[in-house]
Structure 1
């Protein structure tokens, strides 16, 4: 066994073994590597990602990971100087700003490809069987035949797609209030950097989406966590937090919050807007789950931007979660001078979203099959949620779920007090089940006693049930 448990160390050890192998040789499974190196599933995922970047291995969904075709590669030489240079670049900041951090283990972990023998309760994208693949294929074909499909689009986005997003969001928005962007993570990163300066504070939910934390730290921002309850962000604690430390932005997920599933109540929405107005802060409304309501959900409230009177809210939503991870198309909506700042930041980041991708999205959402597809997805999500809730209740006990959300794609499961989330996740992977540790969702150090279970990445509801029930023997162990 190699005693270097870091992702880079494991990657180096595996590279020495893999390089002599003939092309097409199957590599050990994720689970086997976890056991062999006594490392977490996330560390193994990082090592495999490094090997993929080096061109040594390639993953084939449903089949495994294999040695790629050998090709000549020029040695990099001595690159040891880079560490010091990069450290200096991240720390040469003025005004007491935080060093930037480009460490994103939580995002990399949720993007890890599960091997064919692993039940994936970790991933945040629809399994191909849930994706509207025929509609996507047809939309792509129609988009490719459009006149000017390969022309450079407006930096703000294809006008007709901006019109559709404006109507979908509502709130009296027009195309002039919309920027088309490369899905939710791109929107978050762009908005935080456009509105904030290095060293500024940003209020985030606790727990919250790991991509928000990663984007804030990459922009050298200080995260101020505010706890949640069943109705969303605790407004009393928000007020106390802003009274102690002014923040430039408050980030909220109003619908089916990731990871808890909480929805902001109407009173909380109004109170958050009032507090933001009092302290001169923007509100970033990450409406990622707008198209992920289940068939038995009550009608969703209007977005917060509909109640915005003075350009306080920057609204964002994406098509990715309800379609395919490859349809990376979303929208940012805002009013006032901030929109010009956002547009400039978006151009600096990506120039523009490719026209063929925008046109495919437009063809998809304006086709008669779009609403039918969402209705079919809503039924499938309801069924999977019911199966997952029943399995969690039977396996973890009736008190493991504080919320049973009727939207989104995940459950926030409390662990018994004697368990540690990281060790539990590692043990689960050794039992061929991939889940997500609760610590990923906290901006500050925490003794997390939760795990997140996703029920959309596995092939079927039966796999979801099987994966959760496999965890039963681990609950009594001292991990």
Structure 2
């Protein structure tokens, strides 16, 4: 197979105005449908095809992802990527109305073409979610890929006692009815006390209880963003926020970060040229980088937002997970912040993910619109969960819980950093990866040396029994394949050390593979054999 010829615009009728990933997708699809690529033909790896076409590997990855979602190809870790047999392709759902069988003799088609019914919002979400790597099949995998607390820190005993006491109390019935749309008065009272500890003093008309951070993002987007509106966000950023903005058909503008947070020079340059509806930031222990915005940058960001009249959605998703003495105040609590910052927080990351309870603090006129959006979304938040959490907060148990998990998570962060220093310190590996040292939160952000890819590295890591999140999924436009994110709170120290040890072994195997490919290229031995460049 001549892969360069496959992408010839004139010969194969490809659209030269399409992005490269779309041309690769179209070219391979046409080759499969014409029979030029036969059943079970092996495709080049991402690295091989990217090198041949002189493009970034993430472009090839996106093309392969679309082909996989279309049911045309199938990928296997350690084996490669292959054309699905025709019989398998025929069993998949029809992808377009043109592929549906014609209606004859009054007979209806046997299968409804659901794909053509889905909204653009759904298609946008599917495209982004497809960028996430599949979960490894091995049961003994050590995963650094998630971002949630483990069961050992769940408040099982306290919640069990609280539930029993509430059920036996005189007003147990209030647990089983709808709560007010703005949230239980009981919980709102306790949340306001909690926010005061962070310097946020809010009134009843400024606070809304929501079903976790994701609903908070969705509600804010609902009331501000119409299709085509501009949303500005950090790059990289929270994956599910990107999905939400894309699903709303917003124009998303990525602004890169430096060691103090979002770059204000780039931000102001953009705001001076185009009007933005919303600015989404995570000032403390950002996801995925773990970075913290400096005090000077926070103050300057508020001034800039006020100058250009852009509301800020401040996502303080791990504001309680602090491992040092220096705690910077939320944007909402700073001078000028109350008028332009919508502050969001959650109990899911520090307590337990199944609780699905968080809050939004905003100016009264904004809260009124958020409340309306909340009612049209789910009427109100789970009453039982709200009352249980309110009791938990009232008894001071959350503060005690934070003392415990902060010590444990700090120890786990330190264990991962120490293991990196130990197992990646020799001459072979020390220059191949650098990593951050966050002051709080959940994540360590690592960067590979030029020419290396986290996606490729992940294949070798999973073969060694360890996984992580490739960093490209957190960048608005993909790319940046040199980054990876590791969560340090999910496993105890001894397992973390073993995981980093496995990661070092995987890196050695990966570097050996890269060296072999480079040697083959230099010696001119790269060949096309069995439909794959080797």
TM-score, structure 2 normalization: 0.71
**Helix, strand or coil at the partner of 2:339:** coil
Distance of aligned partners of 1:142 and 1:107 in 2 relative to their CA distance in 1, 3 Å threshold: farther
Deviation of 1:143 after TM superposition, in Å, equals 4.2
Spell out, residue by residue over 1:267-297, the C-alpha distance to the aligned partner (whole angstroms, 9 max, x if none).
Answer: 1111111111111110000001111112xx1
Distance of aligned partners of 1:444 and 1:410 in 2 relative to their CA distance in 1, 3 Å threshold: same
Say yes or no: does 1:158 pair with 2:184: yes
Q: Which runs of 5+ in 2 are unaligned?
A: 1-38, 43-63, 82-108, 515-534
CA distance in structure 2 between the partners assigned to 1:177 and 1:205 by the alignment: 26
Deviation of 1:215 after TM superposition, in Å, equals 0.9
Say yes or no: does 1:167 pair with 2:193: yes
Deviation of 1:370 after TM superposition, in Å, equals 2.0
Q: Which residue of 1 aligns with 2:227?
A: 198
CA distance in structure 2 between the partners assigned to 1:102 and 1:114 by the alignment: 22
**Helix, strand or coil at the partner of 1:477:** helix
Spell out, residue by residue over 1:41-100, the C-alpha distance to the aligned partner (whole angstroms, 9 max, x if none).
Answer: xxxxxxxxxxxxxxxxxxxxxxxxxxxxxxxxxxxx8445222232xx428xxxxxx984
8 A Cα contact 2:65 2:130, kept in partner = no
Q: Which residue of 1 aligns with 2:217?
A: 188
Deviation of 1:115 after TM superposition, in Å, equals 5.3
Q: Return the match for 1:447 from 472, 480, 486.
A: 480
Q: Which residue of 1 aligns with 2:360?
A: 332
**Paired residues, number:** 412
**Helix, strand or coil at the partner of 1:331:** strand
For the aligned residues, what is the CA RMSD?
3.0
Spell out, residue by residue over 1:174-215, the C-alpha distance to the aligned partner (whole angstroms, 9 max, x if none).
Answer: 232111111111111211122111111111111111111011
CA distance in structure 2 between the partners assigned to 1:461 and 1:300 by the alignment: 25
Q: Return the match for 1:233 from 262, 265, 284.
A: 262
Q: Which residue of 2 aligns with 1:30?
A: none
Spell out, residue by residue over 1:240-287, the C-alpha distance to the aligned partner (whole angstroms, 9 max, x if none).
Answer: 121222211111101111111111111111111111111111000000
CA distance in structure 2 between the partners assigned to 1:113 and 1:344 by the alignment: 41
Distance of aligned partners of 1:403 and 1:108 in 2 relative to their CA distance in 1, 3 Å threshold: closer
Q: Which residue of 2 aligns with 1:277?
A: 306
Tell me which structure has the larger Cα radius of gyration.
2
**Helix, strand or coil at the partner of 1:203:** strand
CA distance in structure 2 between the partners assigned to 1:34 and 1:181 by the alignment: 40
Which structure shows the bigger proportion of residues in helix conformation? 2
Matches within 5 A, 1:53-68: none
**Helix, strand or coil at the partner of 1:311:** helix
Say yes or no: does 1:298 pair with 2:325: yes
CA distance in structure 2 between the partners assigned to 1:114 and 1:244 by the alignment: 48
Q: Return the match for 1:477 from 512, 517, 520.
A: 512
8 A Cα contact 2:280 2:314, kept in partner = yes
CA distance in structure 1 between the partners assigned to 2:80 and 2:160 by the alignment: 43
8 A Cα contact 2:417 2:437, kept in partner = yes
Q: Return the match for 1:464 from 479, 485, 496.
A: 496
Q: Which runs of 5+ in 1 are unaligned?
A: 14-32, 40-76, 92-97
Matches within 5 A, 1:13-412: 34-35=76-77, 38=80, 78-86=110-118, 89-90=119-120, 100-105=124-129, 116-145=139-168, 147=171, 148-170=174-196, 171-294=200-323, 297-307=324-334, 308-309=336-337, 311-397=339-425, 400-401=433-434, 403-412=436-445
8 A Cα contact 1:2 1:37, kept in partner = no
Distance of aligned partners of 1:315 and 1:106 in 2 relative to their CA distance in 1, 3 Å threshold: farther
TM-score, structure 1 normalization: 0.79
Distance of aligned partners of 1:430 and 1:3 in 2 relative to their CA distance in 1, 3 Å threshold: farther
Deviation of 1:348 after TM superposition, in Å, equals 1.6
Deviation of 1:394 after TM superposition, in Å, equals 2.9
Spell out, residue by residue over 1:370-418, the C-alpha distance to the aligned partner (whole angstroms, 9 max, x if none).
Answer: 2121101011011100010112233345674453112111100111223
Q: Which residue of 2 aligns with 1:424?
A: 457
Deviation of 1:223 after TM superposition, in Å, equals 1.2
8 A Cα contact 1:411 1:454, kept in partner = yes
**Helix, strand or coil at the partner of 2:313:** strand
